[in-house]
Chains A and B, each alone.
Chain A
Amino acid sequence: MQLFLPLIIGILFSAGFYLLLRRNLLKVILGIALVAHAANLLIFTMGGLKTTRPPIIAESKKMIEGLVTDPLPQALILTAIVIGFGVQVFALILARRLYQQTGISDINAVKNSDVNTEQVEKDGSL
């Protein structure tokens, strides 16, 4: 079972990085989503994956008995999933706004946004 998770992580990272390097805004956002999945799985493998028993204490017990999966990476990933969602949606709406306002969908066309802030402020747009 240990061969297959690294492969999945590698596939997701590769596809994610490739999409991040596209010029289309939507593809970049899809890339962010893929990289987030890959990163979550990478953290997940840190737990060791020695067993498949969830870290839940049995009804009648006070302590875990026997081997369970590592709860710490799971807690971290849970947070990461939710924040990843927030980032994704924010990026998506930002892209929508940009496209609606300027008609730009090509990342290269907005590369000078830092330099031209004064101009934008003067125009009163965005």
Chain B
Amino acid sequence: MELLLMLLAVFALAALAPLLYSFTRGNTGWLLAIFPFMLTAYLLLNIPQTMTGHSVQFDWMWIHGLDIHLAFYLDGLSLIFSILVTGIGGLILLFTGQYLGNAGLIGRFYSYLLLFMGSMLGLLWASDLITLFVFWELTSISSYLLIGYNHEDEQSRRAALQALLITAGGGLLLLAGFLLLAQIGGSFSFHILRSSGRSIQHHALYPLILILILFGAFTKSAQFPFHFWLPNAMKAPTPVSAFLHSATMVKAGIYLLARLNPVLGQTELWHMLISTTGAVTMLMGAILAIRQVDLKKILAYSTISALGTLVLLMGLDTKAAFKAALVFLLVHSFYKGALFMITGAIDHSTGSRDIRHLSNLKKSMPMLSVSLILASFSLAGLPPLLGFISKELVYEAKLQAPNAAWLITSFGVLANMLMVALAATIVLRPVFSGKSGVAVKHPPSAFLLVGPIILSALGLVVGLYPQMIAASLLEPALIAIQAEVTTIKLALWHGVNPVLLLSLLTFLGGVIIYILTRLYPDHFKKPLLSQVMKADTMYDDALDKFLKLAKQITLFIQHGNLRYYLFVTLLTISGLLLFYLLTEQMAITLPVLAEIRVSDMTLLVLILLSALMMVLTGSRILAIVALGVIGYAVALIFFSYGAPDLAMTQFSIETLSIIVFVLVLRKLPKFSRLSGRLSKTRDAFIALLLGGIITVISFLVMHQQPTKEASTFFTENSYTAAKGKNIVNVILVDFRALDTLGEITVLAIAAIGIVGMLKLKNQKGTSSP
């Protein structure tokens, strides 16, 4: 219950944020940050409980018939992710208050941020596939709103739409995968699916399910070839990039893989698909990152690389890999969140994010420089930071990879070398070089500094005392994934072993790459692997073609010609009914001619002649008279077959409509010969075809014995329940009174429309009579 209440509170806060902003203005940021920090405290207090393997739960039957629950639980795995969401979220809110100042729609911005936070927590806590999916999509939507926050900028709008289309498109495939999974697993609940993991993996549909779910995870976590939306998403204000697009939302795909590993993991297919994608993304992101000059773009591409590493570790599917992934998840969120906020603060103070323009920050922004150095060291994986420990663990996991360990390791070493070079790029020149330094418009204030400092300091403190997260956070999370108790030992120094040698090699390689980038900067700006980089333009082409196709289809179907709509409709009905008549074997007993009454015969002839008259005549008044004759004839039929109410209604309505026709006739066009002989023949053929088919069908209907439950009920209860003797009337005003109310409403709306059309002034400004 408390989980649901907390979620609702976040969403309520999101709804109230704009209102709060109109009162508190510049103080809104830190006021709103209080709540996420309280949530973080709650989550931290839950650590002892999750350490013993228990989890907080909430379960409410949402859609009974479909066995869909709104269900949440908090175990070790969701705990570690949620602490990141609430903790970093709080820091981001503090940061936002200063960063955006009082520009424009900032109340709305807070609202979106909190909406995202709630959605992300819902996603992490969900223990039901559908619950998870709903929140999954909500994070995509809030991401869309946040990327497009500067909605007057066309590029922002494009980036927002692109992110939404990619992630929500993947989301649709994910939903398909979930539905199939629930069908063969027998439930939407993780708890139940977990226990039927083996049987799911042997099912014929398992590959399809895995691929569909991977589409969801890979689009969300910006894996190759869907990576391109993430750098574009950097159009969003920096707090968004720090929060959603590096620390939390893009990790949702990783979370999903970890969560579903007990159900879908430990197979050859899982191993192959995920680790290949991860390895490619890891290396590609790193290569692309080194080619950028905009700090934010550098960070975006290095985030893609980090996400690739995490996905790769998920794919390795070993205990060492999960352990490394959890530590790397923490350290990446720490340093990347810090680096993004530092970028934002630098941008805010100097107006530039271009590393070629930044210099001598150590003098102008000493505190920020310290945290930049700490965070970059973590990025580079240098001791004594947590980044070092995590890099060692990642190497260890890669060396133990079940397949192609040497290939994966060399990919990893190369990517990490690039990370070292990257760290050098963003630290050395901007912080230390130059004498005068870049002009600082206004020094960063305390709230801009607090986030980066805390996050980068965490990297250092946890690096020095790694054991503090081992038992409290990592072990419960690992239990949640692997379902077995493990003790984790973390330390900076493991003695001289292959992993340490790899670390040394990485550092040396990184330094060499950095020197190369300084010596031959132009060489690193050339387009590389051009086909791979073109994913963004391919997206444009695909979107463009898709919209054109949609337009063509719409123009083809919705051509606007009434007659062709009718042709399609009438011919389709004819076809369907003919198919039915030809396939259903039914004995048509021709009725005996003797049953025909003379009065019936007269009416038949009358109607036939009038119908012919209506079709053939060139006079409008004759056509209307013929219509009147048919109307009265129909009334007579009703009368002679025991429906006096219908007959009376038909008489009065027919009279009324003839009057209206005659009144309006004066204002209506004369009949004219518009169609040629050919089209007349064609129309007559279609009309007679369908008319004939309906004749046959109504024959058949009359030979059926219809079920009359409703009629019997009405007949029996008419007097006893409703005190009425005319059963038709009782049905209309009592049993089905709501239908009659609907009928009256239709008439009223028609009347309003008619009055409107009659009163409407015409083009010349004169009121029509």
The interface residues of chain B lying within 8 Å CB-to-CB of A83 are 743, 746-747
Residue of chain B at shortest CB distance from A84:
B653
Name which of B169-177, B446-454, B623-631 contacts chain A: B623-631
Most buried by B among A37, A48, A58: A37
B687 lies within 8 A of A71 (CB): no
Interface string of A33-67 (1 = CB under 8 A from B): 11001101110111111011111111100111000
Say whether, besides A71-B714, A85-B653, A100-B768, A4 and B600 are in contact (CB < 8 Å): yes
Least Cβ–Cβ distance between B366 and chain A, in angstroms: 60
Q: Which of B330-338, B354-362, B723-731 contacts A (4 or more CB under 8 A)?
A: B723-731
Give CA–CA (A97, B763) in the complex, Å: 11
| Central interface residue in B560, B601, B611, B612, by most chain A CB within 10 Å | B611
Is B643 part of the contact surface with A, judged by Cβ < 8 Å?
yes
Task: Tell me which of A72, A77, A85, A106 contacts B714 (CB under 8 A).
Answer: A72
Q: Kindly specify which of B262-270, B310-318, B588-596 makes contact with the partner chain.
A: B588-596
Chain A's interface size range is 35 or more
Residues of B within 8 A of A45 (CB): 698, 701-702
A22 & B674 in contact (Cβ 8 Å cutoff): yes
| B701→A62 contact, CB < 8 A | no
B753 CB-CB contact with A under 8 Å: yes
Which residues in window 4-54 of A have CB below 8 A to B? Answer: 4-28, 30, 33-34, 37-38, 40-42, 44-49, 51-54
CA A24 to CA B501, docked complex, whole Å: 90
Specify the chain A residue showing the minimal Cβ separation from B753. A90
Question: Given known contacts A10-B692, A24-B672, A85-B656, is B642 in contact with A94 (CB within 8 Å)?
Answer: no
Q: Which of A6, A17, A97 contacts B760 (CB 8 A)?
A: A97
CA distance A96 to B643 in the complex (A): 35
Q: Which residues of B contact A33 (CB under 8 A)?
A: 627, 631, 657
Known contacts A56-B726, A113-B560; A8/B637 CB under 8 A:
yes
CA A107 to CA B564, docked complex, whole Å: 11
Complex contact B563–A37 (CB within 8 A): no
Q: Tell me which of B242-250, B414-422, B475-483, B663-671 binds A.
A: B663-671
Residues of chain A lying within 8 A (CB to CB) of residue B615 = 15, 18-19
Contact A93 to B646, CB < 8 A, known contacts A69-B641, A71-B727: no
Chain A 69-113 near chain B by CB (<8 Å), digits 1 or 0 = 111101101110111011111101111110111000111100111
**A97 to B9, alpha carbons, bound, how many Å?**
55
Question: What's the Cα separation between A34 and B726 when bound, in Å?
Answer: 29
Is A125's CB within 8 Å of the partner chain B?
A: yes
Residues of B within 8 Å of A93, CB to CB, are 664, 753-754, 757-758
Judging by beta carbons under 8 Å apart, are A23 and B674 in contact?
yes
Contact B698 A3 (CB under 8 A): no
Which A residue sits closest to B648, measured CB to CB? A78
* In the complex, chain A residues whose CB is within 8 Å of the CB of B763: 101, 125-126
A114: B residues at CB distance < 8 A: 558, 560
A4 touches B601 (CB 8 A): yes
Does B604 interact with chain A (Cβ within 8 Å)?
Answer: yes
Within B640-684, the residues touching A (CB, 8 Å) are 640-646, 649-650, 653, 656-657, 660-661, 664, 667-669, 671-672, 674-675, 683-684
Residues of chain A contacted by B754 (CB below 8 angstroms)? 89-90, 93
Q: In the complex, which of the residues A54, A74, A83, A90 has the most CB atoms of chain B within 10 Å of its own CB atom?
A: A74
> Are A15's CB and B563's CB within 8 A?
no
Residues of the A chain whose Cβ atoms lie less than 8 Å from the Cβ of B12: none
Complex formed: what's the CA distance from A53 to B639 in Å? 10
Least Cβ distance of B626 to chain A in Å?
A: 9
Name which of A58, A86, A113 has the most chain B CB atoms within 10 A of its CB: A86
Q: A64 vs B726: C-alpha distance in the bound complex, in angstroms?
A: 10
With both beta carbons as reference points, the residue of chain B lying nearest to A79 in the complex is identified as B743
Expressed in whole angstroms, the minimum distance between the Cβ of A19 and any Cβ of chain B is 7
Instruction: List chain A residues, Cβ under 8 A from B687.
Output: 13-18, 21
Please provide the chain B residues from 698 to 721 with a CB less than 8 Å away from any CB of chain A in the complex: 698-699, 701-702, 706, 708, 710-711, 714-716, 718-720
- Asked if B739 lies at the interface with its beta carbon under 8 angstroms from chain A, I say yes
In-complex Cβ contact of A8 among B603, B743, B751, B762 (8 A)? B603
Q: A81's contact among B650, B675, B686, by CB below 8 Å, is which?
A: B650
Asked if residues A69 and B690 are in contact (CB atoms below 8 Å), the reply is: no
**Do A108 and B563 have beta carbons less than 8 Å apart?**
yes
Q: How far is the CB of B643 from chain A (nearest CB, A)?
A: 5
Is the pair B643, A2 in contact by a Cβ cutoff of 8 Å? no
Contact status A37-B634, CB under 8 Å: yes
Q: What is the minimal beta-carbon distance from A69 to any residue of chain B, in angstroms?
A: 4
What are the residues of chain B within 8 A of A51 when measuring CB–CB? 642
Interface contact B637-A92, CB-CB below 8 Å: no
* B731/A96 in contact, CB under 8 A: no
Q: CB distance B668 to A9 under 8 Å? A: no
- Given A20-B566, A30-B627, A41-B637, the answer on whether A6 and B695 have CB atoms closer than 8 Å is yes
CB distance from B680 to the nearest CB of A (A): 9
Assuming the contacts A48-B706, A99-B669, asked whether A13 and B630 have C-beta atoms less than 8 A apart, the reply is: no
Q: Which residues of A contact B84 (CB under 8 A)?
A: none
Known: A78-B728, A89-B750. A10 touches B695 (CB 8 A): yes
Cβ of A115 and Cβ of B614 under 8 Å apart? no
B653–A81 touching, CB < 8 Å: yes
Residues of chain B contacted by A25 (CB below 8 angstroms):
668-669
* A40–B634 CB distance below 8 A: yes
User: Within 8 Å of chain A (Cβ to Cβ): is B64?
Assistant: no
Return chain A residues, CB-CB under 8 Å to B758. 93, 97
Q: Considering the chains assembled together, what is the distance between the CA atoms of A33 and B660 in angstroms? A: 13
Chain B residues contacting A97 (CB-CB under 8 Å) are: 757-758, 760, 768
Distance in Å from the Cβ of B758 to the closest Cβ of chain A?
7
Q: Once the chains bind, are B732 and A78 in contact (CB under 8 Å)?
A: yes
**Binary CB contact string for chain B from 600 to 621 against chain A (1 if under 8 A, 0 otherwise):** 1101100110011011000010
Please indicate the chain A residues that have their CB under 8 angstroms from the CB of B192 in the complex: none
Q: Report B-chain residues with C-beta under 8 Å of the C-beta of A105.
A: 668-669, 672
Contact across chains for B668 and A96 when beta carbons are under 8 A apart:
yes
Any A CB within 8 A of the CB of B561: yes
**Can you report 13 residue pairs joining A to B where beta carbons are below 8 Å apart?**
A3-B595, A6-B696, A6-B699, A10-B694, A23-B563, A24-B669, A44-B637, A45-B701, A64-B727, A72-B711, A96-B757, A108-B674, A114-B558
Q: Could you list 13 further interchain pairs (A-B, Cβ under 8 angstroms) beyond the known A57-B727, A79-B732?
A: A2-B702, A8-B604, A12-B630, A17-B566, A17-B691, A53-B642, A59-B725, A68-B715, A72-B711, A77-B646, A99-B667, A108-B561, A125-B763
Interchain residue pairs A-B with the least CB separation, the first 3? A14-B691, A10-B695, A105-B669
